[in-house]
Amino acid sequence: MHANDWMQIVLYFGALVALTPLLGGYIAKVYEGQAHLMSKPLGWLERLTYKASGVNATEGMNWKRYCAAVLWFNGAGLLVVFALQMLQDKLPFNPQAFPAVSWHSALNTAASFITNTNWQGYSGESTMAYLTQLLGLTVQNFLSAATGLAVMAAFIRGLRNRQDPNLGNFWADLTRGTVHLLLPLSLLLAVALTSQGVVQNLRAYDKIKTVEGADQVLAQGPAASQVAIKQLGTNGGGFFNANSAHPYENSTPLSNFLENLALLIIASSCVWAFGIMIGKRKEAIALWAGMAVLCALGLGVALYAEYSPNPVFHTPGGIMEGKELRFGTTPSVLWAETTTITSTGAVNCMHSSLSPLAGMVAMLNIMLGEVIFGGVGCGLYGMLIFVLLTVFMAGLMVGRTPEYLGKKLVSRDIQWVVAAILLPNACIKIGAAIAAVTPAALSSLGNAGPHGLSEILYAYASCAGNNGSAFAGLNANTLFYNLTLTVTMLIGRFGVLVPALAIAGGMAMKKTAPPSSGTFATDTPLFVALLVSVVIIVGVLAFMPALCLGPLVEHFLMLAGRTF
């Protein structure tokens, strides 16, 4: 690595650290209903939304009503996105005259976008009409992200409340997150990206002659608006098939930096907002430190692997195979790390072309539960679920009743914690096991041997973690994968969301006890170390056998100068 590579890493994380408290304070004001920077410019839009939908923003909901509203809203969204795809050949804004999408691909895409996964088994520029992209996919990019943020706000209120079942109003939280947070940030980023050459239009595709005289079609479309919200909302679905490796989605080193920063900034700021909303910023700093340690570990291993000599390619380091030449190895590895520690899934290089250890890091980031910052909102409540598990284990070790923020944990709380952790894990292993012995699934593999297993594992991990990135060698647009991955995405999203709301509902009704000399502090370096250990151990114990058969075997074959 050169000085320029280190400078890019320092600049990236320096900007993240500087912006996190500023945006975190803003997020806290948005969900607390306090006056903030955009109250006057956009307050009318929030009030208009309430009036048009008949919502009483001051009406509180207990966890069951809040959960029912979330499920109803997302069910309606699934039907709308499904219908748009099935009818797009009969709808306007389809200058390429694309036909209707197959029912199983449409179902998979609808589930993908309402769960904030944005897994795509198709090529966007040759499948989706402009109206489908705008009214279906882009709208869900906002709403799925706003749903995660709303559940995060409800979870924080549950931890903070004292014998009060009111977790807030889902419709108000959804509106505030969309209007005051996602909309203005997306507008700013879209304008910045357009200035860098990211396309934003509704015209038909261009047909040109190449230097060699061959015919070529250059896809057009409203890309900048979707790219902005896909990054900020940790959605990740690419307007074009190559995602952010496509020059029309990611044009310059500056656009690459802005898009990479955007995919992590809200998730990082949510941690700071948590500290403000509960009135204990040290708790937020401890959580952020734990996430940062896990991020640094993964990035370090991935950079080491990518800059180590590769006997297969006979390169001394800095492997460029599969990387975007405009950006180089370090920005590609940094993006691969940040996109998999969040639930974004956007890519600027092909993860299938990463060295085996770097590919394993990307996969393991997702398998840990997307809690290293994670998706907007859902990453925070996912990590807080691990915090509760850590506190419970610490209580068992010292023989004290576990408690967090002054509230004692009971068996009901831990049962929901275990359910939230085990359900996505089970989907990954069961889905991959079935695919590994099903001829229809194996026929979709782009590679044999351990790399083929990694393709399958990555697909189910990505969908269970609502990440959406892929190893790129797997043809997932088949009946088998569309249906099994749809189930995986839905369980991966709502199998954590529902337990989170149930835990919040139980915690909201508890009394708060003042700290004593025997209270286990959760804002110390000792707790950060324990939390990081629990997250790693849970991931390693659950998936190490599968990882040994996939990327680790491939790594040792590579060291021997062999491919499979």
* pLDDT tens sequence across 195-242: 998 888 888 888 888 888 888 888 888 888 888 999 999 887 777 777
Predicted confidence at residue 318, as pLDDT, reads 62
Q: What is the residue whose two structure tokens read 């690419």?
A: 238
Evaluate whether residue 16 is within a structural domain. no
Q: What is the pLDDT of residues 100-114, one digit of tens each?
A: 999 999 999 999 999
Q: Is residue 28 part of a domain?
A: yes
The predicted-structure confidence for 15-41, as pLDDT tens digits, reads as follows: 999 999 999 999 999 999 999 999 999
Q: Specify the pLDDT at position 428.
A: 93
In a domain, 248, yes or no: yes
Domain that holds residue 250: 22-278
Handedness of CA 306, 312, 316, 322 (dihedral sign): negative
| Residue-wise burial string across 210-231, b where 16 or more C-beta atoms lie within 10 A, e elsewhere | eeeeeeeeebbbbbbbbbbbbb
> What are the E-state strand segments in 55-180?
none
Q: Is residue 271 part of a domain?
A: yes
What one-letter code names the amino acid at 516? S
> Which residues, given as ranges, of the chain have pLDDT below 50?
none
The pLDDT of residue 316:
60
- Residue 1 is predicted with a pLDDT of 73
Residue 365 lies in a domain: no
**pTM here?**
0.92
Q: Quick one: which of 300, 320, 325 has its CA closest to 310?
A: 320
Looking at the domain assignment, is residue 126 inside a domain?
yes
CA-based nearest residue to 491, from 420, 419, 424, 428: 424
Domain count of the chain? 1
Q: Is 129 a member of any domain?
A: yes
255 found inside a domain? yes
